[in-house]
Amino acid sequence: MKQPSFELDLDILRHNVRSWLGYLAGRELWAVVKSNAYGLGLERVAHACVEAGAQRLCVVDISEALALREAGIKVPIVQVWATPADELETAIKNEVIVTLEDVEVAKELSRNAIRIGKVAVAHVAVETGTGWSGIPANRGTAFAGAVRLLPGIRWEGAWTHIASREQMLAQLDLFYSAVDAMRASGLPVPIDHVAATAPTLWGVGGQAARIGVGLYGSHPGGPIRGLPVRTAVSLRATVLYAKQFEQATLLGYGGTSVAKAGECIVTLRLGYADGLPRSLAVGGQIRLHNERCPIVGAIGMNFTMIRVPYGVTVRPGDEAIVLGDVEGVRLDEVAQRAGTIPHQLITSLSALSAPQSV
C-alpha cells in the first residue's frame, strides 16, 4: 500500500525567491529557515534560497545556525530571538548575528568579543505587541545609553514582530519611536527589519524583509500583481478503491455525510495521522484526474473519502493531489479551508511525512 507523499520542489522554491526579490525592488530578502525550514530540510532549503539570491538567513535557535555553517553556508545568519547569554561565545565564533534585549547580556557579549578577539554584530529586539521578545518600546533611550559604548560590538539593526494587520500601525509607531530614540542616543542600528511575509504585502518598509512561508508560495490576502509565487510543496495520496453505492449509505465516523444511490465514493490512503487537518472534512477538496472532488465524511486516521463526479473512471493506484501548484489545492487555499495558517499546514505535514526534493 503506497504511503502519502509530501514533497518540496526546489526549482519552484528558487523561482519564489527570485519573485520575492523582484517584488522587494532592492530591499534585501532574508530567508527564514527556522524550525528545520518549516520541517522541509534546513540545509537544502537554505542552499536553494542562497543560490536564488537571498542575502541572509534567519534562525531562532543557535543550533540551526551551526548546522548551516557546517553545511558550508557563508552568508550572514541572523538569530531572530534574544540570544541566551550562554550561547554568545558560540555565536561570535561562528559569525552569527545575535539579538539582544538585556543590558547585562550586552555586557557579556562585549566581554566575550574582547576575549575572543572578534567584533560581535548585534541587533536589538523591540517589544511592540507580541510579548515574546524585546526591550520595552519606551526604553530605547535608556537601553542605548547603557550599551552604546560597550567595546567589541557593532550595533547593526533593530527589529520587531508584527502581531496582526489590525495592530500593525500601532506597533510600527512604537517600534520607530524606540529606533529613533536609540539612534538619537548614539546607538546607530542602521538596519530595521520589521516585515515578515504578510506585513511585507501589507506595505511595511525597512531595509530588509524576513520571508518565511512566502518562500513556499503563500501570499496572504490573495495573488499580488508583480509577485508570481507558486506553491512549492505538494501532498499526494493513492486511491485504495472506488465504490459506486447502490443505496444511500452513511460515510465515515459519525455518519456526517451520505453517499446517494449511484454516487462514486473514492477512499484515499491519507488521514490525520499523516498531518491532514480533520477540519478539511467540511469544505475541503482534492484534485483527482483534474477534477475537483469534495471530501466527504469524517477524515480518519489513515483514510479520507472524496466524491467523484459522474463519468470519471477511477482505479486503485490512481494518484490524487491534496496540496500542490494546481488551482483549488494551492497552499493558501487549502490552509483557508482547513481554518489554519499555511505555516501550520506545512509543519504539520512535514512532521508526519518524509519530505523529498523533486
Render pLDDT for 61-111 as a digit per residue (tens, 0 to 9).
999 999 999 999 999 999 999 999 999 999 999 999 999 999 999 999 999
pLDDT interval class at 356 (50, 70, 90): very low
C-alpha of 223 from chain center: 17
Give residue 174's identity as a one-letter amino acid code.
Answer: L
pLDDT interval class at 355 (50, 70, 90): very low
Provide mean pLDDT across the span 191-208. Answer: 93
- Ordered by where they begin, the domains of the chain are 10-216 (3.20.20.10), 233-357 (2.40.37.10)
Q: What is the pLDDT of residues 299-325, one digit of tens each?
A: 999 999 999 998 899 999 999 999 999
Q: What is the pLDDT of residues 170-188, one digit of tens each?
A: 999 999 999 999 999 999 9
Q: What is the DSSP letter of 131?
A: S
Q: What is the pLDDT of residues 90-101, one digit of tens each?
A: 999 999 999 999
Q: What is the pLDDT of residues 202-223, one digit of tens each?
A: 999 899 999 999 999 998 877 7
Which residues have C-beta within 8 Å of that of residue 79, sequence separation ≥ 6?
58, 59, 60, 61, 62, 65, 91, 96, 97, 98, 99
How many angstroms separate the Cα of 244 from the Cα of each of 264, 266, 309? 4, 9, 11
Which residues have C-beta within 8 Å of that of residue 209, sequence separation ≥ 6?
20, 24, 27, 28, 29, 30, 193, 195, 196, 197, 200
Q: What is the DSSP letter of 68?
A: H
Q: With contact defined as beta carbons under 8 Å apart, do 153 and 120 qualify?
A: yes
Q: Provide the pLDDT for residue 262.
A: 86
Summary mean pLDDT of the chain: 94
Q: Provide the pLDDT for residue 348.
A: 93
Residue reference for cell 524606540: 178
Whether residue 353 has pLDDT greater than 60: no
Q: Which of 310, 314, 313 is nearest to 237 (CA)?
A: 314
- Read off φ and ψ for residue 171, nearest 5 degrees: -65, -40
Q: With contact defined as beta carbons under 8 Å apart, do 305 and 295 qualify?
A: yes
- Read off φ and ψ for residue 8, nearest 5 degrees: -115, 130
Distance CA(149)–CA(69), nearest Å, equals: 30
Q: With contact defined as beta carbons under 8 Å apart, do 236 and 280 qualify?
A: no
Strand ranges, E, within the chain: 5-8, 28-32, 56-59, 77-79, 96-100, 120-127, 135-136, 153-159, 191-193, 208-211, 233-244, 249-251, 257-259, 264-269, 285-288, 291-296, 303-308, 319-323, 356-357
Q: What is the pLDDT of residues 258-296, one digit of tens each?
A: 888 889 999 999 999 999 999 999 999 999 999 999 999
